[in-house]
């Protein structure tokens, strides 16, 4: 009974992450993008806690705590401070229109499920059925990165891709060793600091966060 309930809960949280990935793909407001990213981190935390509860894998509770602290609290707070300091415009331009992006997103979901099907058969995790959703979240985050012209949404897309990778690790196995997770968490924090400096430099140089202005450096 508990095992079946855990599978249903994990599938529910996985469906929530997929819906949030679609919402992020269609979203034009940076502030809402940050909130959606935090909700995705919350769904990832809840899924990890559910797997830990059903399987007795105590290290997953620690992983869930790190995920919650980093992806639901710390990184959204840093992003909020960045957009306030940079005085970023709320509306975000996309390189292709939203309906086309949704259609591409659906194609990526179908591709991810077909790709993950043979892989999930070798997994013993109770969340193995959600591996396709995890891969779809990764691909859709990558799509969001390459279809946004502003730097901040691309940063959020990169962070969302990392959410999908963590969810894939939980789906395929029972997560990564704690040393690896702590190392990745530290790398993400350092990366955010570097990206923050990078964004300030772009804003100071071009008075805009449109990365297409970087092409001007070729002429310098």
Count, residues in the chain: 220
Q: What is the pLDDT along the chain (220 residues), one digit of tens a residue?
A: 666 787 788 889 989 999 999 999 888 888 888 899 999 999 989 988 888 888 777 778 888 888 898 889 888 888 888 777 777 655 666 777 888 889 999 999 999 888 888 777 766 666 667 888 888 998 998 888 888 777 778 778 888 888 888 887 776 666 555 445 555 555 565 565 556 555 555 555 545 545 454 445 444 4
220 in a domain, yes or no? no
175 in a domain, yes or no? yes
174 in a domain, yes or no? yes
SS3 assignment for 109-131: HHHHHHHHHHHHCCCCCCCHHHH
Q: Are 138 and 165 in contact (CB under 8 A)?
A: yes
Q: Per the structure, how many domains does the chain have?
A: 1
Q: Give the tokens for residue 172.
A: 């395929």
pTM over 0.85: no
- Which range of residues forms the domain containing residue 143? 2-215
94 in a domain, yes or no? yes
State the Rg of the chain over Cα: 18
């Amino acid at each position: 009974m508990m095992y079946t309930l855990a599978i249903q809960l994990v599938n529910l949280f996985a469906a929530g992450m997929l819906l949030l990935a679609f919402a992020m793909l269609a979203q034009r407001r940076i502030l809402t993008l940050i909130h959606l990213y935090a909700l995705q981190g919350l769904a990832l935390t809840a899924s990890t806690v559910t797997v830990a509860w059903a399987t007795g894998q105590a290290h997953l509770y620690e992983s869930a705590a790190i995920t919650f602290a980093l992806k639901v609290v710390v990184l959204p707070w840093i992003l909020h401070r960045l957009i306030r300091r940079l005085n970023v415009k709320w509306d975000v331009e996309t390189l292709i229109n939203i309906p086309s992006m949704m259609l591409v997103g659906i194609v990526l979901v179908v591709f991810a499920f077909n790709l993950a099907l043979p892989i999930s058969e070798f997994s013993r995790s109770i969340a193995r059925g959600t591996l396709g959703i995890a891969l779809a979240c990764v691909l859709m985050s990558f799509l969001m990165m390459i279809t946004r012209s502003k730097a901040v949404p691309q940063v959020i897309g990169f962070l969302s891709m990392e959410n999908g990778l963590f969810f894939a690790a939980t789906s395929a196995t029972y997560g990564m060793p704690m040393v690896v997770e702590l190392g990745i968490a530290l790398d993400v924090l350092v990366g955010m600091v570097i990206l923050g400096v990078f964004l300030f430099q772009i804003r100071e140089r071009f008075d805009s966060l449109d990365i297409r202005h970087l092409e001007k450096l070729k002429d310098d």
